Amino acid sequence: MKHYMRCNVLDIDTLLREIKQEIKPKPEDYEKVKSIIEPVIDNIRKFSSKYSEVSEVSLQGSLAKDTWIRGETDVDIFILFKPETERDILTSLTRKIAHKVFGVKRCKERFAEHPYITIEDFRGFRIDIVPCYKVPAGNLLSPTDRTPHHTRFIKEHFDEQLKDEARLLKKFTKGIDVYGAEIKKEGFSGFLCELLVLAYRSFMNVLERFSSGQLPIIVDLLKYYEDPSILPEVFKSQFVVVDPVDRRRNVAAAVSPTRLSEFIAASQTFLTKPSKLFFYVTPFKPKKPEILFKELERNQRSIVGIMALIPVLPPDILWGELKKALRIIVNRLKLEGFKVVKSSVWSDEREYSIFLIELESRYLSRYVKRRGPPVTSSHSLKFAQLYGPGSAISGPWIENNRWFILAERKWVDSVKFLEYLLSSACIENLGLPADLLSLWKSSQPQIFPSPEVASLAVNENFSRFLDFFVDGRPRWLRISF
Query: Which residues lie near a second copy (CB under 8 A)?
Result: 1, 3-4, 213-215, 257-258, 261-262, 264-265, 268-269, 272, 299-302, 339, 341-342, 358, 360-361, 365-369, 374-378, 380-382, 384-385, 388-390, 392-406, 470-474, 477-478, 480-481
d(CA 104, CA 89): 18
DSSP states of 163-174 as a string? HHHHHHHHHHHH
Least Å distance, CB 444 to a second copy, is: 28
Beta bridge partners of 116: 110
Task: Round the CA-based radius of gyration of the chain to a whole number and report it.
Answer: 27
Which residue, 282 or 400, is less far from a second copy as judged by CB? Answer: 400
SS3 354: strand
Which residue, 27 or 390, is less far from a second copy as judged by CB? Answer: 390
Which residue, 222 or 381, is less far from a second copy as judged by CB? Answer: 381
Least Å distance, CB 361 to a second copy, is: 3
Which residue, 51 or 363, is less far from a second copy as judged by CB? Answer: 363
Instruction: From 41, 111, 108, select the one nearest 75 (Cα to Cα).
Output: 41
Least Å distance, CB 262 to a second copy, is: 5
Q: CB within 8 A of 344, min separation 6: which ones?
A: 326, 355, 356, 465, 469
Least Å distance, CB 381 to a second copy, is: 5
Tell me whether the omega of the peptide bond preceding residue 396 falls within 30 degrees of 0, making it cis: yes
- Strands (DSSP E) contained in 352-419 are 352-359, 367-374, 394-399, 402-408
Which residue, 368 or 427, is less far from a second copy as judged by CB? Answer: 368
Tell me whether the omega of the peptide bond preceding residue 216 falls within 30 degrees of 0, making it cis: yes
Beta bridge partners of 111: 115
Least Å distance, CB 1 to a second copy, is: 6
d(CA 468, CA 173): 18
Which residue, 69 or 405, is less far from a second copy as judged by CB? Answer: 405
d(CA 426, CA 134): 49
Give the CA count within 13 Å in the CB-facing half-sphere of 345. Answer: 26
Which residue, 155 or 473, is less far from a second copy as judged by CB? Answer: 473
Least Å distance, CB 390 to a second copy, is: 7
Least Å distance, CB 73 to a second copy, is: 31
